[in-house]
Structure 1
């Protein structure tokens, strides 16, 4: 038997300038030099999670596991947009309180699960697992201010359940080679809409989305066990895809339709000697929408055939490490990693409020050196050695289609970074 329990609380605060997107709506009523500042307070009041597992010893050709899981989460998401005059004073009513939006929610989930494996021979086995989960959620939504609804709080309740399963077959023709085939399902819970000021006609809840994943793989050793390899291909069917968008600067979730993901992954590690290690990783991921609901298409601008935003088709890495003695009791090392990420899109093809931008591919070079002696180590890292600039995300998030000169926001790769780390084993 194995039991775990955890409790967490955290609070995050973020301040941002919303003058550009919202300023034009109040510019005629305020003197020059005004600003609209947004304060976001994300408060995880409590998260308690527990799990218990009972594992069997193998009897005959069978071994199994039973378990239960529970989580209780309470959050408060407060967004406040305030209009300020050029002297720093809050603008007079009703413009001063541009928007105050509060979402208080609870999420409780309980689940039971069982896994079992039957070994027909030492070379062949089949495993299966089943999980049933149910969740209850509620949210209290309220908004006031110039663009708020200024209505009594809205209470939304939601209940959902899901059954997921997986089946895996393995064949090990020899001690250095394993092949497998797996089919597994998964889901993300639905829930209440957390936007207190959504567009007219928007549903107050959204459904769970589900995936079915079929995978074939092989892993093993070769070349007198100096080469390790691990490769797989997969196909994912994704139904009722949950897509996020912004409306009046606040998050809105909608079920878009269906998507498919086809991909392959491979990892190689070659050790020609005890002093050297070479490796390579390669990933291909073709993720695209195949069906889109009419309302979602109108709101997010998504269309069948669109790539899923933020998902590069190709990723790759090459790395090498060399170890050599220095003196009688010291070992040094030199290493490098070259990381590549293919291009990706930031949004959907027909999005009006967040036009799509193709973020170019980029490659980053990381260098490292180290010393080890006794129980101590000293490591020098030079990450992004060539100081390459690459986009990791990009968004415009206009609040009105007529806004043509709104600045965009982008996050970029970490610039060249030097770090020195000293360690000791105890």
Structure 2
């Protein structure tokens, strides 16, 4: 079960959709989950002994998974309160809404990898995975209270003989430093949406289902030890080409209603993510060391694409004349979800005392840039995404360990910085129920004392 009070009041109170509840009854709405899973998975793998210049892996993989993600929105006393106002009788008493995402998924794959020591310093490997899968999906939506959605959609997504590959090569620049390059591919299966047609508004084929998406990944980097192995560094640059990416989509309960929506998925235009990563550690002596890591990334749409729900929509119309049930992703639009820059650092001290006990002290910090919490699909328009501000939390800890005793004290968020890190309800529901914001944990001091019994 899960609490559903705020949404229960919003969706079922008499002032909103004319399906009255009893706000004075102290009976909170809740969600009742009844998920089910059963399946079998088998894998057989053969691996070479590792002797000689060549090594290999060969395998067979099979899985069959039957899942049902079922939930009901329960309004205690709802049947008696709504009575004949309910559009249909629910399976579970007092349920105003039911949703079930069910799947019968079968996959068979063979895979293999061949590696070779080209020279004493140069290595390479290539691998492949070939697979078939079939996903028989059923999506049920029953809006008992309003009749906005009462639909059961079934469909089968099937793929035969799909192959994906990986290549890696590395070269030892010195006994302690190597450079490498990796090219690989990733894959995610498609599925169906529980969207429906209306009189005069027939769903387009691309709205009923969504296709698999895939990635082409490229990374080149270097890592190793310097200065008598006191300095460790790892650095790389990467690019991810996202092909036919799956993105979220929604269908209004009627073509004219943009308020209530049913969630789904569609295939957006291709996208690219690029970035740089660095990680380093330096040991001054046996007591003092420092560490630093940094990463930057940027992801954006490669091209402009239009997706429409109904056959009456014209996806080739000028952007300004598109139907409200069409959505546009513009070239150069940013995907968000991660800071452009993030950095971490630490200063560490440790020492073993003459009596055999040890002490340590550590100062750590993170430098996080602004985070765009959602996509900004049009680089030329005002973005509706929220921007979480940059912040730099600092933490300190120190401790002593001797024999069976351990003691430590720590202070997190030393400067007591209050930064917004998450927000929920920034949509139509939030306008009714209010926003729920999450901030960084305030300055916290903790003490730990432990004893190890024999």
TM bucket (normalised to shorter chain) is 0.7 to 0.9
Cα distance in 1 between the residues matched to 2:287 and 2:35 = 50
Matches within 5 A, 1:162-173: 162-173=162-173
Among residues 125, 128, 141, which one is paired with 1:127 in the alignment?
125
Q: Quick check: 196-205 or 240-249, which moved more?
A: 196-205
Cα distance in 2 between the residues matched to 1:265 and 1:106 = 40
Residues 371-405 of structure 1: per-residue CA shift (max 9 Å, x gap): 333466445443334343333333446459xx966
Cα distance in 1 between the residues matched to 2:46 and 2:394 = 46
Distance 1:54 1:13, change over 3 A: farther
Q: CA deviation at 1:331?
A: 0.6
Among residues 242, 245, 270, which one is paired with 2:246 in the alignment?
242
Cα distance in 2 between the residues matched to 1:14 and 1:112 = 44
Matches within 5 A, 1:257-406: 257-295=269-307, 302-326=329-353, 328-349=355-376, 355-374=384-403, 377-396=406-425, 398=427
Matches within 5 A, 1:163-242: 163-193=163-193, 195=194, 201=203, 203-242=207-246
Q: Secondary structure at the match of 1:17?
A: helix
Q: CA deviation at 1:370?
A: 2.9
Distance 1:321 1:70, change over 3 A: farther
Report the structure number with the largest CA radius of gyration.
2
Distance 1:405 1:97, change over 3 A: closer
Residues 76-119 of structure 1: per-residue CA shift (max 9 Å, x gap): 2224335568x997543435754222222233333222112111
Contact residue 231 and residue 264 of structure 1 kept, 8 A = yes
Cα distance in 2 between the residues matched to 1:173 and 1:26 = 69
Distance 1:197 1:325, change over 3 A: farther
RMSD value over aligned CA atoms? 3.6
2:42 matched to 1:30? no
Residues 196-232 of structure 1: per-residue CA shift (max 9 Å, x gap): 6699626332111111111110001111110000000
Distance 1:147 1:338, change over 3 A: farther
Q: Quick check: 108-117 or 384-393, which moved more?
A: 384-393
Q: Secondary structure at the match of 1:362?
A: coil
Among residues 262, 266, 269, which one is paired with 1:254 in the alignment?
266
What residue is the counterpart of 1:17 in the other structure? Answer: 6
Q: Secondary structure at the match of 2:307?
A: helix
Distance 1:421 1:283, change over 3 A: farther
What residue is the counterpart of 2:35 in the other structure? Answer: 43
What residue is the counterpart of 2:159 in the other structure? Answer: 160
Please, what TM-score do these two structures have when normalized by structure 2?
0.78
Q: Secondary structure at the match of 2:298?
A: strand
